[in-house]
Amino acid sequence: MNQALPTMPLPPGLMAASPQAGAAEQGYQLPPAALQAIVDAPRAPALSLSPRRNLAALLQTPPLPSIVEVAQPELKLAGLRINPRTCAASRFSFATDLGLLDLATQKELRIRGLPHTLRVADLSWSPDQRYLAFSHVAFSGETGGVELWLVDVAARNARKVLNKPLSAVLSRGFNWLPDSTGLVVQLRPVGLNKPPQGSGVPSGPNQQDSEPGGSRKQLRTYQDLLRNEDDARLFEHYVTVQLALIDLHGRTRMIGKADQFSRVSVAPGGRHLLTQCITRPYSYIVPAASFGERIEVRNMDGRVVHTLAELPLEEGLPPGNDAVSPGVRHVSWRADAPATLVWAEAQDGGDPAVALEIRDLVYSQAAPFSAPAQVLARLGARYAGIAWGRGDLALVTERWYKTRAVKQWRIAPDHPERPAELIYAGSYEDRYSSPGAPVLRADSAGFPRLLIGPDDSILLDGAGATPDGDRPFIDRLSLASKKKERLFQSAAPHYENVVAVLDEEGTRLLTTRETPTERPNYYLRDLRLPAGAQLTALTDFPHPTPQLLDVHKEQVRYKRADGVDLTATLLLPPGYEVHRDGPLPLLMWAYPQEFKSSSAASQTTGSPYRFNSVSYWGPAAFLAMGYAVLDNPSFPIVGDGEQEPNDTYLAQLVADAEAAVDEVIRRGVAERHRIAIGGHSYGAFMTANLLAHTRLFRAGIARSGAYNRTLTPFGFQSEERQFWQAQEVYQAMSPFNNADKIKDAMLLIHGEQDNNSGTFPLQSERMFQAIKGLGGTARLVMLPNESHAYRARESILHMLFETNRWLDKYVKQAMP
């Protein structure tokens, strides 16, 4: 699994060109060899820890897929993207090799009987650890399907356990029973093999209505929506599934009738199913996640024993980021009880503008679901989940976006009459004060539970943000005395992150450990041993880009003009010395972030001890082309108190950029006439604004962005106000409105099939048209079959080709 992956050729029929190819040449182009090598660098396997924490599954991440695979047939229905050949989601990552790692001996164990061309989409351990279930996406000519396979862990042998294909459009298609005797699966229904065919002749216009006197709502912009009744029938065909129960030998028993199941989960006791079914009417303006649904409890024969809710179609929420649905939401099983439902309901109608002391109630209801639901918690903000422990101990979290407030309460689920006890209160954007998240561990039924020690103590896993950078930690917190004990914290010159706690005492940890020159590898750390003997290496993944081994990395700190502290990661090419070599052309890559306080915005992010990962996706790849890189410089947009951050967006954005430019000039690594700015998505929006409102940069790289905020009138990013409430803000923030001020070169790249809310491909097309029509310098590159992020190897290589050529022409060769 540690061998280098071969360089993949372009598929037949596609043209490659030299790095000097002209804009008029057609076909996918290749960047210089130094950039190609980064694209084809080997990727480390992913790790899935077993329930008993003594084994791990190793899944090999494959090379990038070819455009032939990315261009497979794809249906776009109700916000979903479906491969009709496989009856599964069309865009997913998969693994091409599967093995086991023995944590005690550090030996890799091979598995026999795997499919010849393995494509693992999902993997799950049985609760008793005897088996691994995985779904394999198989293709045969023009047909395909999602197959269910089992690995016998002791025998290390794999076999296909089910001859019928899974339906994996809305879920992975399988779930283990808590006793590990079988799985609940979602199958393609018999008799629904052929999708409905529209005649192509319309029966009439498609019509929508708005009720008079309706309430004001946020109607976000979405892609891939239903357009007509033909689409609706096709959507119904692909989301209709048949539930079934299969044992370890593949014997199958159907569970009730087929329906449009969007979610199915087995109760911890193994005798009930929680199902959510999509219902008509559908909508042409919101995706499937907002369609109506029935929430029901069924027995294992499929009979409905309890209907919790019948939720209507929801076309928009009240204004504000704290808005939620007015009815039942976040339904789940209580992890530490055989069959108890838990859910939240807003008491303010889901409208944050309604002033109420108690905004959310959290309810529970136990089988046989005949007694009235009990109130578990009364929350002054929005319910954000529960960590279950036992009958007298669970932790419930609430959050309020408007103030960034977060609170955590201790409750006693078996004694709801007991008052909740506040465990933590603070701001979730205050990284320095974050206590960390409770450590959970799967119980014998496979459900996550709190690790509870003496004195009702729990373990907390935190990022450990400090003024000197992140230092991950594990704490033990006594809920009785409120005292904390630090069990572990990462220390210089390494960055060590806890992947899992292996024992109830928190003394044995699975971690990843890295330095700027050492790739993250897995280690066992035993805190009971002397400091010098605690670590045991489990993996030895080689450096993926040894040609860039000696990249210089530094976490730099500087100030904005108004005193806000900022940080960035400065990367310099191997062998570069500023006093000897002088300034370099520089690429700056950023992404703005909103804050409600200057103190939170000033906090240091990242760590100087992280591995110098050089990815094709970010700016670091251009170190190989002789550029200096300023990666992830802080671009905070602060709205203290009642002020909204975006009220002063442009002034703060420009101040952020000026501070970053001044810092690299002060250090002598760059000169003012050879600096480029770039970003993806909201970073592309930032790039266009900086080119429109400053002359700090000679060029901009804007990938998959949005540039006209009137096309996202019901809010964008973290902006809560609608266009009609803040027209001046929307207009001022839209770089499209200031395209005539863009005097420097702007490269726009966008996926033709972008499905991200708000970043329609039309945004880049119209921005390019504006700059071109106004006599500016711009280039538009639309990548076929690509979504918001790009997947095909040909697309990634061409993206680098275009970016490198743009930077070479307008930055590297720029004159003062």
Dihedral sign for Cα 714, 720, 721, 726, please.
negative
Beta strands in 690-804 (DSSP E): 699-703, 745-751, 778-783
How far apart are alpha carbons 704 and 685 in whole angstroms? 9
CB 668 within 8 A of CB 583: yes
Pairing of strands 508-515, 518-526: antiparallel
DSSP of 515-578, one letter per residue? ETTEEEEEEEEETTS-GGG-EEE---PPPS-GGGTT-EEEEEEEE-TTS-EEEEEEEE-TT--H
Is there a catalytic annotation at residue 180?
Answer: no
Respond yes or no: is residue 272 known to be catalytic. no
What's the 3-state SS for 164-211?
A: CCECECCCCCEEECCCCCEEEEEECCCCCCCCCCCCCCCCCCCCCCCC
306 is known as an active-site residue: no
- Which residue has 């005097």 as its token pair? 743
Q: Which of 364, 681, 787, 795 is catalytic?
A: 681
Q: Where are the beta strands (DSSP E) in 283-325?
A: 292-299, 304-311
662 phi/psi in degrees, rounded to 5: -60, -35
Instruction: Give the DSSP letter string of 107-141.
Output: EEE--BS--SS--EEEEEE-TTSSEEEEEEEEEET
| 812 Cβ neighbours under 8 A, 6+ residues apart | 585, 626, 627, 674
Compute φ and ψ for 224, nearest 5 degrees: 60, 35
User: Cα separations (Å) of 238 from 243, 244, 258, 702?
Assistant: 14, 17, 12, 36
User: Measured between alpha carbons, how far is 492 from 489 in angstroms, rounded to an integer?
Assistant: 10
What sections of 414-458 are H helices per DSSP?
A: none
Neighbours of 51 (CB within 10 A): 18
For residue 466, what are its two tokens?
A: 């400090």
Cα distances (angstroms) measured from residue 146 to each of 241, 411, 740? 13, 42, 51
- Please pick, among 262, 434, 754, 787, the residue that the annotation labels catalytic: 754
Q: Which of 298, 314, 385 is nearest to 350 (CA)?
A: 314
Sign (positive or negative) of CA dihedral 409, 413, 417, 418 = negative
Taking CA atoms, 378 is separated from 347, 371, 402, 416, in Å, by 10, 20, 19, 11
Residue with tokens 């726009």: 748
- Are residues 542 and 2 in contact, defined by beta-carbon separation less than 8 angstroms? yes
Distance CA 156, CA 162 (A): 19
Among all residues, which ones are annotated catalytic?
Answer: 681, 754, 788
